[in-house]
Amino acid sequence: MPVMRIFSKVAKQALLSTPGCGCQPLTVAVRNISFSPRQVTSDASFHSVSFSETDHPKVLITGGLGQLGVGLAKLLRKRYGKNNVILSDIRKPQNSVFHSGPFIYSDILDYKNLREIVVNNRITWLVHYSALLSAVGEANVALARSVNITGLHNILDIAAEHGLRLFVPSTIGAFGPTSPRNPTPDLCVQRPRTIYGVSKVHAELMGEYYHHRYGLDFRCLRYPGIISADSMPGGGTTDYAVQIFHDAIKTGKFECNLRPDTRLPMMYIDDCLRATLEVMEAPAETLSMRTYNINAMSFTPEELAQELQKQMPELEVTYEVDPVRQAIADSWPMNFDDSNARNDWAWKHDYDLPELVQTMLNFFGSETRMARFN
């Protein structure tokens, strides 16, 4: 259903049920039906805020079976209660995920199905992770266009209709070769050359348009490359930074598909998930913009390998450059300027490169590493 028809219907219902409000503009009527969870004060510590059983959000996560969706669900369930965070996807979840909390089938290309989920479960926050990543998207542009753009339109319309707080992640891929690369500010030229990047610029602009035009509480973070130990790479250009740990543990050898001097911004998943929660909880009045860069560290494959070799000197690293992925990486930022996020809602990362490597190795465990070399 087109969004303006939806808004007209909602406005008509509001006017009929509220005496004396016939002079209210449409945008006011839409905002009046929205739900706003209790928000923290701008100077409060993330760890000091708690939510009672009556004022927590009810969260739906689309594309929830990826590394970010599963991780964010775990964090949010600990904070708001297990039954208040619903994971959704079109794939069958693993038993551990299925039994960890509510899971529901949701196809973002099926507008009616998605709308029913929001209504029936009284959703107030929507986290939209469904997307095809950079390298996978280039291999199937038509599918990426459908999922990343058409699916987004469904999400925007439903979020606006029901007054949801909507989070849509963006990426370093939203920038292109004509963007400033070191550092890359929040606002600059964006001319990406991948369908993934184009779709994310589209998401940023459409979300901000819906915010200004309809009052949608849209929030967006441009993620750097995200590194996690408990999931396999998912088709992104920065996936080498995850694959190197898997290969180091299994074989003691790693072949990198980027040049050794390719510098890209990176972040450990715990920092990424915490940033997502913090920006969602931030009071609206503290946000000077709706799309922010966030950053933690910036390194090259060579620097990552050298840090890893400090603890695994037997690791052999070679380079076989994939021209497609290298071209993508060469068009992306080398470093993010995230000063606005740090100033507006006190963003601060915990993991630099040494902490990242140690954490990843700790996850795999010393016994696994010893078994490889004995």
| CATH code: domain of residue 337 | 3.40.50.720
- Per-residue pLDDT at 42 exceeds 70: no
For the stretch 96-110, pLDDT in tens is 999 999 999 999 999
**Is pLDDT of 38 > 50?**
no
Q: What value does the mean pLDDT of the chain take?
A: 86
Question: With contact defined as beta carbons under 8 Å apart, do 108 and 155 qualify?
Answer: yes
Asked whether residue 184 carries a pLDDT value surpassing 90, the answer given is: yes
Does residue 38 sit within a domain?
no
pLDDT at position 364, please? 83
Q: Is the entire prediction scored with pTM above 0.85? A: no
Q: What local confidence, expressed as pLDDT, does residue 366 receive?
A: 47
The verdict on residue 124 lying in a domain is: no
pLDDT in tens, 210-238: 999 999 999 999 999 999 887 776 667 88
Q: What is the 3-class SS of 107-167, one letter each residue?
A: CCCCHHHHHHHHHHCCCCEEEECCCCCHHHHHHCHHHHHHHHHHHHHHHHHHHHHCCCEEE
- Comparing 182 with 4, the larger pLDDT belongs to 182
The answer to the question of residue 104 being in a domain is no
- Give the count of domains, the chain: 1
Range name among 45-49, 93-97, 281-285 with the lowest pLDDT average? 45-49
175 contact partners, CB below 8 Å, separation of at least 6: 181, 184, 188, 190, 192, 197, 331, 332, 333
Residue 75 lies in a domain: no
Q: What is the pLDDT of residue 262?
A: 98
The residue behind tokens 């905002």 is 31
**CA 279/CA 330 separation, integer angstroms:** 29
Q: How far apart are CA 263 and CA 181, in angstroms?
A: 10
Q: Assess if residue 87 is contained within a domain.
A: no
| CA dist., res. 309 & res. 306, Å (int) | 5
* Residue 274 or residue 365, greater confidence: 274
Query: Does residue 105 lie within any of the structural domains?
Result: no
Residues 295, 228 contacting (CB under 8 angstroms): no
Q: Are 153 and 207 a contacting pair, CB within 8 Å?
A: no
Residue-wise pLDDT for 275-315, tens only, equals 999 999 999 999 999 999 999 999 999 999 999 999 999 99
Residues marked as catalytic: 196
Flag the least confident range among 10-24, 47-61, 120-134, 240-254: 10-24
Largest CA distance in the chain: 80
Q: Please determine, for residue 321, whether its predicted confidence score (pLDDT) is greater than 60.
A: yes
Note whether residue 331 is domain-resident: yes
Residue range 10-39: average pLDDT? 36
The larger pLDDT score, comparing residue 344 to residue 29, is at 344
pLDDT > 90? residue 67? no
The reported pLDDT for the residue numbered 234 is: 65
Please say if the pLDDT value at position 28 is more than 80: no
Residue 326 lies in a domain: yes
pLDDT value, residue 235: 65
Q: Which residues constitute the domain of residue 354?
A: 131-373
Q: How far apart are CA 100 and CA 94, in angstroms?
A: 10
